[in-house]
Amino acid sequence: MAWLLSGCSGWGAAEVRKLSGYSMGTSYAVSIVAKESEARALDGEVRTAIDEVNVAMSTYLPRSDVSRFNEAPVNSWVAVSPMTAEVVSLALEVAEASNGAFDPTIGPLVNLWGFGPKETTDQVPSEEDIEAAMAMVGWQAIEVDSAASKLRKTEPRELDLSAIAKGFAVDQVADMLEARGITNYLVEIGGEMRFAGTKPEGEAWRVAIESPDSERRSVYKVLEVSEGSMATSGDYRNFFEQDGMRYSHTLDPQSGYPIRHDLVSATVLGERSVLSDAYATAFMVLGAEAAMALASDKDLAVYLIQRNGEGNTEILSERFDALFEQSN
């Protein structure tokens, strides 16, 4: 997870104003450089922009686009909002680029392992149940008609956009702020971020990559940023244990099991939060070596944390090194 690092400010002109709340099953915080009256006027618009994404893409809401699609028969087109069609299209793009490490049809496995909306006990599923869930996973069976905002599945499939929807909501808020003339901001939803401009007096926004420690929360690395997005995925926060073994919420769509390699955190910086969000998940599934190969191919700024005995090792992509290491 990534954090915004900021201090308190007054309510005079040209100060950092913070709008915050709870949506999409997590907290959000939006920092803008604006007058008090501007911030108050934007508070409701921020919440509306986030809620619109949640209403369309939540697996917890029975009438969301995603829930209706999941209940629809095979080969039937389902009308969805343009934003849902866009997110599914982007999800399929990342799925193809990552060779299926990111798969928006992983929902049956997520539910089976107890990390989805359906209530389950924290226990390892049987091999038979995993095989049955795997038969319903495969992004290639999803089709998008972007012009008509429709989706179709050619085989039994269920969408789960939880690894990309928060990033898209971040972009929606950022785009709305820019349309309202706000050029200096930092938007954060559940750790996914997008930022632009600076704080007053030209100070860069300061964000932190969290230490991969399941016992406590602390800062691992601080970055000064001014343009783009940032998303972090890790295996250290959401998991359960059974018989002395830890099972992460990050599932490998091709094995049906939680990841077991030594990569513990993947941070991606890019232009759009929606893609940074999805690629961070893909890299966690791939592991360090394959993640770096894909980061190089896509020219992405990526910062990986890998277990090394009792400590950690950092691995930086060339793009990340070019953006940040020269200033350290």
pLDDT digits 0-9 by tens, 68-90: 999 999 999 999 999 999 999 99
In a domain, 215, yes or no: yes
| 212 shares its domain with 258 | yes
SS3 state of residue 157: coil
pLDDT for the residue 270: 95
Whole-structure pTM value: 0.90
> Number of helices and strands (H, E) in the chain?
9, 16
For residue range 246-266, list pLDDT tens digits in order.
656 788 999 988 888 889 899
For residues 102 and 160, what is the distance between their CA atoms, to the nearest angstrom?
Answer: 11
Q: Using an 8 Å Cβ cutoff, are 274 and 307 in contact? A: no
Residues for the chain: how many in total?
A: 328
- CATH code, domain with 281: 3.10.520.10
In a domain, 34, yes or no: yes
pLDDT for the residue 325: 64
Q: How many domains does the chain have?
A: 2
| 75 shares its domain with 135 | yes
For residues 326 and 207, what is the distance between their CA atoms, to the nearest angstrom?
Answer: 17
Average pLDDT over residues 133-139: 95
- Domain termination site, one of 127, 153, 179: 153
pLDDT at 7 over 80: no
In a domain, 216, yes or no: yes
Choice among 88-97, 122-131, 293-302 with the minimum mean pLDDT: 122-131
Average pLDDT over residues 103-127: 80
Residue 85 burial (C-beta neighbours within 10 Å; 0-12, 13-18, 19+) = buried
DSSP secondary-structure letter at 7?
A: -
In a domain, 60, yes or no: no
| 168 shares its domain with 143 | no
For residue range 218-240, list pLDDT tens digits in order.
788 899 998 999 999 876 555 55
- Domain termination site, one of 153, 173, 190: 153
For residues 270 and 8, what is the distance between their CA atoms, to the nearest angstrom?
Answer: 28
| 239 shares its domain with 318 | yes
Domain that holds residue 92: 65-153
In a domain, 124, yes or no: yes
For residue range 146-157, list pLDDT tens digits in order.
999 999 999 999
In a domain, 59, yes or no: no
In a domain, 158, yes or no: no
pLDDT at 272 over 70: yes
In a domain, 136, yes or no: yes
Decide which of 242 and 313 is more confident: 313
| 98 shares its domain with 216 | no
pLDDT at 327 over 60: no
Looking from the CA of 78 toward its CB, the CA atoms found within 13 Å total 27
